[in-house]
Amino acid sequence: MSMCNLYSLTRPQASLRQLFKVEDDLTGNLPPLPGIYPDAMAPVIHLRGGRTAMGMMRWGFPPPPTAAARPVTNIRNAGSQFWRPWFTPEHRCLVPATSFCEWTDKAPKVAHWFALNDERPVFAFAGIWRPWTGARGTKANPVVGEHHLFAFLTTSANAIVGPVHAKAMPVILREDEWTTWLTAPTPHALRLQTPLPDSELTIVATGVKEDPGVNAVQHTH
């Protein structure tokens, strides 16, 4: 299983508005999302006309022409000519989450959920977004038209993620880095593409397809 293709966001909508200082909430009624998969709709925070907006976008960028047809959810090579246009401030975004999942590199494949701590406070992935017109969704139920798509950056795995998934981990931004990611010149913003320190991440659940949340008993493997 490729890296980080599942995450959760289970905190109330009002707390997201407050935490990210959202001025325009375009998400409607936002329920808890214990399992967000590629091609799903999820809330994303970005600047819109100089205001902080939170809207629903679809997870996965269209792939480079030479790649497989599957949407790209995670981006490592920010210097690539294909990705570079989407790292300007107007296309950078914050992707709120409370935990993310990685599967063990070797069989048996076991899901491991990572969060900042057992209480699962909200954090943000360093994301990018773009408009795109075409067909998304399943073959049985395609959604044709204009889409707002998002993906997020990855970086080297730290010592907490590495034993589970050695290749990479998502770029997780601290709260004091959010404004820099949204507004700074691209070279400065991309300095944030580093692993979260080991002491700031923990495994909160294992062996489950959705994060059971703060009130559940932790599963062990």
| pLDDT tens sequence across 58-100 | 999 988 776 667 889 999 999 888 899 999 999 999 999 999 9
User: How many other CB atoms are there within 10 angstroms of residue 63's CB atom?
Assistant: 13
Confidence class for position 221, pLDDT limits 50, 70, 90: very low
Percent of residues, the chain, with pLDDT higher than 90? 77
Closest Cα partner for 211 from 135, 107, 99, 119?
99
**What pLDDT score does 142 carry?**
84
Structural domains in the chain, CATH included, are 7-206 (3.90.1680.10)
pLDDT at residue 35 is higher than 50: yes
Q: Picking from 66-75, 113-122, 204-213, which range would have the lowest pLDDT averaged per residue?
A: 66-75
- Closest to 9 (Cα-Cα) out of 33, 40, 30, 39: 33
Of 81 and 184, the structure prediction assigns the larger pLDDT to 184
Segment among 12-16, 67-71, 170-174, 200-204 with least mean pLDDT: 67-71
Would the pLDDT of 2 be above 60? Answer: no
What is the average pLDDT value for the chain, to the nearest integer? Answer: 91
Tell me: pLDDT of 216 over 80: no
Comparing 97 with 135, the larger pLDDT belongs to 97
CB 176 within 8 A of CB 190: no
Q: What is the pLDDT of residue 220?
A: 38
Residue 215: the pLDDT is 59
Quote the CA–CA distance of 52 and 63 in Å, as a whole number.
28
Given a cut of 70, whether residue 202 has pLDDT beyond it is yes
Burial bucket for residue 21 (CB in 10 Å: 0-12, 13-18, 19+): exposed
Query: Using 50, 70 and 90 to split pLDDT, how confident is the model at 213?
Result: confident
